[in-house]
Copies of this chain bind each other. A is one copy, B any other.
Amino acid sequence: MKKQPISKYPVPELADLPEDIREMMLAVQEKAGFIPNVFVTLAHRPEEFRAFFAYHDALMLRESKLSKAEREMIVVATSGASHCTYCVIAHGAILRIYAKNPQIADQVALHHSNADISDRQKAMLDFAVKLSRTPEAVSDKDHQHLRSHGFDDEDIWDIGAITAFFALSNRMAHLINMRPNDEFYLMGRVPPPSKQA
């Protein structure tokens, strides 16, 4: 079966991109060894691209009491609930690496209630999935339940805002049929190639 394209939309050449976006991509490539398709495909609209990654970084790189692995768990669980192949495959890879656990992404994407994570993390993901799929159902009781697990108001904003951002991201991925890079499938499942030498 022929592989599907990485987007329903035209994908710009690096050379044709605005300077700031091209440099951002080259920096990512330098660090990761490849350019994730979310960069390549969203660059179709440079202004939206800039806002998208500014928002992403504001949430995912900020100081937070949520660990980086926990933030990626939120992405993977909510994207799994919305059947978003790109987000689960790409962020699943990142989750495996942050958590140093080759099984956790598959478990969280499929059924976080039975994953090898803490009860506190399950409560966090219950909230995230509820906000993601039925935002109108979230109530004060849900906030209180998170507080009973030790999350404070800023933690809850983090959980909710990451969920909200990836609700956007999932819909963009579905809209353009964004395809994950081949590299993500194996990342974090086996030692990285550079260490095998």
Could you tell me which A residues sit within 8 Å of B by CB distance? 1-4, 8-9, 44-45, 47-48, 50-52, 54-55, 58-59, 62, 80, 82-85, 88-89, 102-103, 106-107, 109-111, 113-114, 116-118, 131-132, 135-136, 138-139, 143, 153, 156-157, 160-161, 163-165, 167-172, 174-177, 179, 182, 185-186, 189-190
Contacts and interface: CB of A to CB of B under 8 A. Distances in A.
A161 B175 contact: yes
Given A4-B116, A47-B58, A161-B175, 5 more contacts: A48-B58, A52-B55, A54-B54, A84-B135, A135-B170
B103 A182 contact: yes
Contacts of A4: 114, 116
A177 B55 contact: no
B85 A114 contact: yes
B136 A103 contact: no
Oligomer copy total: 6
28 contacts: A1-B118, A9-B157, A45-B161, A47-B54, A48-B58, A48-B161, A50-B54, A52-B55, A54-B54, A83-B111, A83-B135, A85-B114, A89-B106, A89-B110, A103-B185, A106-B185, A111-B136, A114-B179, A131-B171, A131-B174, A132-B171, A135-B171, A136-B174, A163-B171, A164-B172, A167-B171, A189-B190, A190-B190
Contacts of A190: 186, 189-190
A143 B186 CA distance: 32
Contacts of A118: 1
